[in-house]
Structure 1
Amino acid sequence: MMQTVSQWLWWDRLWLPANVSWSDLEDNEGRVYAKASQLYAALPCALCLLLVRYLFERYLATPLANVWGVRDRLRLIAESHPILEKYFCSQARFPSQADVKSLCKKTSWPERRIQLWFRKRRNQERPGLRKRFCEASWRCVFYLFAFVCGVLALYDKPWFYNLKEVWAGFPKQSMLPSQYWYYLLEMGFYLSLLFSLTFDVKRKDFKEQVIHHIATLTLLSFSWISNYIRIGTLVMAVHDSADILLEGAKVFNYAKWHQTANAIFVVFTLLFIVTRLVIFPFWLIHCTWVYPLDEFSPFFGYYFFNVMLLVLQILHLYWAALISRMVYKLIFSKLEGDDRSDEEEDDSDSPKERNHKLNHINGSGARGRTNREKGK
């Protein structure tokens, strides 16, 4: 049965044009083709990137956060209460009004106190500003490195300047070493993002992020196996270009360099629109929908690849709406933080608690000034 399933899964007519078989994509005559078995290398690459990320955040991003004065917000700890803790861990982090009233009867607490307890408890599990700073720094550095690698792998290739060259001789196109390493780097990175989703900063578009990472890995895997490598490298380079500025804007925003962050965000918005809403759909997707028909008749793999690209484009439209809302806030109000982040809630219910926070902040500032004076 497994053999039958494998034969259907790797049926030539599904993934390759007519009159082309998998045997035609075996190394010969000096040509080297991508192989499905090479995709396994993405797993150790992802693990290596997770290690590099840990070292980067600990020994580079954290000291940089100290230099720029990036500090976590002081949080009030929720008092220990077994009934509320059990409800929080096993049922819901956001209790309904009916559940709040039920908890009032069980704990003999007023509604306001219960709601405040849940706000404090939720804040305890939210990542601090330093963690967000470190994550954004890592992604910014990686996207910059990946984009430079992509440009170096593409700048001297004819299909970088003429998209019709993407399909010249397809699928019998020899794989280049630069393409291999570029693919391996990108696949390892997105696989590492999937591994780290559970402990990374959770954002409002968490589900969309999961869909994006899975769609990206599916596209990269399929394009690798079916030798869609040329168009795959172009898609990766286009996506990385705008992400550099997005993460850079976050880094400066967390460091309170708001004017710099806003300027970078405006440039990012323009670049996002050009790359994701113009170049990607009207150049790259047009290249994958129209130009291949001059070389071969449509087949399942042709439709599969283009549908996956359309899934990415739908996500681009969703994120474009989020970005537009952030630009609106930037122009007409004060933009703080990442609009996709799970922001902290106000857990100060009384003047005493608010004064406690203010005294802590003022005390930290006074101690800092005293230490600087001693240093002089």
Structure 2
Amino acid sequence: MSLDSMLTMLNTWLWQEKYWLPPGIRWQDTEMDNEEGRFPLPRDLLIALPLAFAFIILRYVFDRIIAIPLSKCLGVKDQIRIQAPPIPKLDAFYKHISREPSQSQVVSLGRQCGLSQRKIQTWFRHRRNQDRPSNTKKFCEASWRFVFYLVAFIAGLCSLIDTPWFWDQSECWRGYPKQPVANAHYWYYMLELSFYLSLLLSVSVDVKRKDFKEQVVHHIATIFLICFSYCANYVRVGTLVMLVHDSSDFLLESAKMLHYAVMTRICDSLFVIFAVVFLVTRLVVFPCRIVHTTMVVSMEFFEPFFGYYFFNVLLLVLQALHIFWAYLILRMVYKFVFKGVVERDVRSDEESEGDEQEEEPEGERNSAERKETINSKRTSLANNCVLNNLTNQRNLNSRLHEIK
């Protein structure tokens, strides 16, 4: 069987009407005249790839022209870290075998390099600290996401506020699947898809957190969900889902920026606002409006089919994650308000800083190392901001992920 015939068979199987359309509806029934508007077609998604590269270039320019100067104006400070001396054997081991050698490996490396175990351990600690992202880099990443989420939320709200389905969610299904897509909603979809695709393409150079693998899976799942909802013409309800999640994303990213600038009081206030918006949108608006209309109201307009079940299962998984993260937020708020203690982030977004908190015996620490320890303790005090308990919504959307 030739490659062309295999691709033809795959294409025929993938686009079977029973997967994408309600019973009794054929692809011919979705055709529209130019006057009626645009019907979502898979080929429309191809524009997302060049847009994703454009986002990457724009982000590079944004960091240098806006984010870095802004971080300096806000007083974002980076730790002074001791540079590990160049030792070829240790460098090779660090890059190709392990960043944290076992005790037996430390002994072996000490013999090869003629160094004590303590010096080997110190070298690896300093080398790991060299690779940790600076506060400036984390600030730039947060500010870039803040700008995008804020612009996306405002643009999405402006494009949806005059639509009938923004106020009455049953309108998401009236006339489905033959529903034209306005240009504003098309670009809303394409820009959201392109943004997440750009995050996936740049994940290797972004701040690597303890949930690196989960973030990759999250970005892939988000891209897949956006593509599926577009091809199935769930654009109306899809725009509402994206708007709900964008409404709290920019609040958290702005609070993270202030966290890195050690503006604790404003940071804490933004966290409270974020918590309220998150709880209202994810535990009230999302289940009572969006999930209800996709599971219950939609059945008044068409019979269930594969796309109906698939889409609703994804929304229910998303809602389960909303409940989980809401529980963590409420627990942190309770301890902060009633007990006066700030709980460390139980999620995996915060970079592990254990190495930076290590201390060596006084006799083996030089003046530069003392300075590094003082910086570490200052950072530890600064991290008592409430935001440290909830530093990254991409997990929040990440394990969830909001269907965007």
TM-score range, shorter chain: 0.7 to 0.9
1:242-321 equivalent positions in 2, closer than 5 A: 242-317=248-323, 319-320=325-326
2: CA distance between counterparts of 1:322 and 1:111? 41
Shift of 1:205: 2.6
Contact 1:141 1:244 in 2 (8 A): yes
Q: Deviations over 1:174-199 (max 9, x none)?
A: 11111111111111111111111111
Shift of 1:238: 0.4
Tell me the equivalent position of 1:200: 206
The 3 A distance-change label for structure 1 pair 342 and 360 is: closer
Shift of 1:66: 1.5
1:1-376 equivalent positions in 2, closer than 5 A: 1-28=6-33, 30-32=35-37, 33-317=39-323, 319-320=325-326, 323=329, 327=333, 332-333=340-341, 340-344=349-353, 345-346=355-356, 349=360, 350=365, 352-357=367-372
Shift of 1:259: 0.6
Tell me the equivalent position of 1:368: none
2: CA distance between counterparts of 1:289 and 1:356? 59
Shift of 1:316: 3.7
Shift of 1:246: 0.5
1: CA distance between counterparts of 2:324 and 2:67? 30
2: CA distance between counterparts of 1:355 and 1:222? 55
2: CA distance between counterparts of 1:356 and 1:207? 34
Shift of 1:105: 3.9
Secondary structure, counterpart of 2:99 in structure 1: coil
Secondary structure, counterpart of 2:227 in structure 1: helix
Shift of 1:210: 2.1
Q: Deviations over 1:276-324 (max 9, x none)?
A: 2332234312221222222222211112212232343354455446645
Structure 1 unaligned blocks of 5 or more: 362-376
The 3 A distance-change label for structure 1 pair 304 and 98 is: farther
1: CA distance between counterparts of 2:127 and 2:373? 21
The 3 A distance-change label for structure 1 pair 23 and 51 is: same
2: CA distance between counterparts of 1:170 and 1:157? 16
Question: What's the C-alpha RMSD, in Å, of the aligned pairs?
Answer: 2.6
1: CA distance between counterparts of 2:290 and 2:103? 50
Residue type at the aligned position of 1:16: L
State the identity %. Answer: 47
Shift of 1:49: 1.5
Residue type at the aligned position of 1:25: T
2: CA distance between counterparts of 1:121 and 1:326? 34
Structure 2 unaligned blocks of 5 or more: 1-5, 377-404
The number of aligned residues is 361
Which range is displaced more, 350-359 or 168-177?
350-359
Residue type at the aligned position of 1:137: S
2: CA distance between counterparts of 1:30 and 1:225? 21
Tell me the equivalent position of 2:3: none
Shift of 1:153: 1.1
Residue type at the aligned position of 2:272: V
Secondary structure, counterpart of 1:275 in structure 2: helix
Which range is displaced more, 178-187 or 307-316?
307-316
Contact 1:223 1:229 in 2 (8 A): yes
Residue type at the aligned position of 1:8: W
Contact 1:208 1:315 in 2 (8 A): no
Please, what TM-score do these two structures have when normalized by structure 2? 0.82
Secondary structure, counterpart of 1:188 in structure 2: helix
Shift of 1:230: 0.3
2: CA distance between counterparts of 1:53 and 1:245? 20
2: CA distance between counterparts of 1:147 and 1:339? 26
Contact 1:42 1:187 in 2 (8 A): yes
Which range is displaced more, 155-164 or 24-33?
24-33
2: CA distance between counterparts of 1:17 and 1:171? 8
Secondary structure, counterpart of 2:262 in structure 1: coil
Residue type at the aligned position of 2:349: R
Residue type at the aligned position of 1:155: I
